[in-house]
Amino acid sequence: MTDSDTRASPAADVVLSVTELCKHYPGILAVDRVSFEVRRREVVGLLGPNGAGKTTTINMILGVLSPSTGSVRIAGIDLARQRARALAQANFSAVYATLPGNLTVAQNLNFFGLVYGVPGLRARVAAVLEEFDLQHLRNTKCGVLSSGEQTRVALAKAVLNHPRLLLLDEPTASLDPAAARTIRARIRGLAAHSECGILWTSHNMYEVEEVCDRVLFLSRGRILLEGDPRTLPRAHGVPTLEELFIRLAREPLADALERAG
């Protein structure tokens, strides 16, 4: 029994349900019938080479890109039908979506706190500033922060509304190893001690093994493999997750699908 199996729980525990999600652009099938779930207190890694469809999938879950077909339910709420209610249950942090640099850390948190309708906002902002060690930067404009500090602010924003679903798109991409380790520990702690489930993308396989309970390998818009990042490599005859990643990324899609069974 894997770690993720022990966490398997009733449908009420599913914080994200993606069903047969497709995204067509003229001449391109960016995401092809992707289905998966993320459960409460689970960290799921969405892996794949550049252009595999990870960010397209995340954008559809965030409601900033509409799927061609398929559905997204966040905490049981259909995103297409009840966009505002569904998105109130989610939040995200992405390396390519920095917070407005012309506002201070506290101003950004106040602004997004109001937009997310966070109750007791003043106390909540104080709490996340402390949680992410940002008190001394509260009056500093986000545009002048280092990459590590900006990542911490983005994560503080991402947990501000106690999301049931947290989407983290390469949250440690621009961090030094020490800062990345600290962030990983915080996120792992968040998954363990809160009610949220986390969907995480990363190109750092060491990080994925450390943090994720389960991984999904995405290539050319399709999910090829799914499983425990610690047992998947051996099950497919390779020594490490990185080797498995490279093999799947290089193989033609038909071969990869056949291998994945």
Partner 1 sequence: MRPRPIAGILLRQFYLIRGSPVRALPMFAWVAIDIVVWGFITRYLNSMSAGKFNYVPSLLGAVLMWDFFTRIMQGVSTAFLEDVWSRNFLNLFATPLTLSEYITGLVVTSIGTSAVGLVVMLALAMAVFGLSFFALGALLVPFLLVLFCFGIALGILASALVLRLGPASEWLVWPLPALLSPFVGVFYPLSTLPRWMRAIGHALPPTYVFQGMRAVLAHRPFSPGSLALGGAIALLDIILAGYFFARVFRHAVRTGLLARYSAESTA
Contacts to partner 1 from residues 149-178, by CB under 8 A: 157
Token pair 């899609």 is at which residue?
Answer: 253
User: Residue 22 — left, alpha, or beta (φ > 0 → left; ψ -120 to 50 → alpha)?
Assistant: beta
Task: Decide whether 110 or 204 has the Cβ nearer to partner 1.
Answer: 110
Please count the residues of this chain forming the interface with partner 1, following the rule CB under 8 A. 36
Q: Which stretch binds partner 1 (CB under 8 A): 112-120, 122-130, 202-210, 252-260?
A: 112-120
CB-CB contact of 191 with 214 (8 Å)? no
Residue whose structure tokens are 């995405």: 218
Among 19, 71, 107, 204, binds partner 1 (CB under 8 A): 107
Secondary structure, 3-state, 3-35: HHHHHCCCHHHEEEEEEEEEEEECCEEEEEEEE
Q: Which of 20, 51, 81, 83 binds partner 1 (CB under 8 A)?
A: 83
Any contact of residue 66 with partner 1 (CB under 8 A)? yes
**CB-side neighbour CA atoms (13 Å) of 204:** 17
Query: Considering only residues 18, 43, 75, 94, which one is a binding residue for partner 1 as defined by CB under 8 A?
Result: 94
Q: Which of 21, 43, 44, 99 binds partner 1 (CB under 8 A)?
A: 99
Candidates 43-51, 83-91, 178-186, 199-207 — which segment interacts with partner 1 by CB under 8 A? 83-91
In contact, 37 and 14? CB cutoff 8 Å: yes
Q: Does 114 bind partner 1 (CB under 8 A)?
A: yes
Rule CB under 8 A: which residues touch partner 1? 25, 55-56, 59, 62-66, 83-85, 87-88, 90, 92, 94, 96-104, 107, 110-117, 157
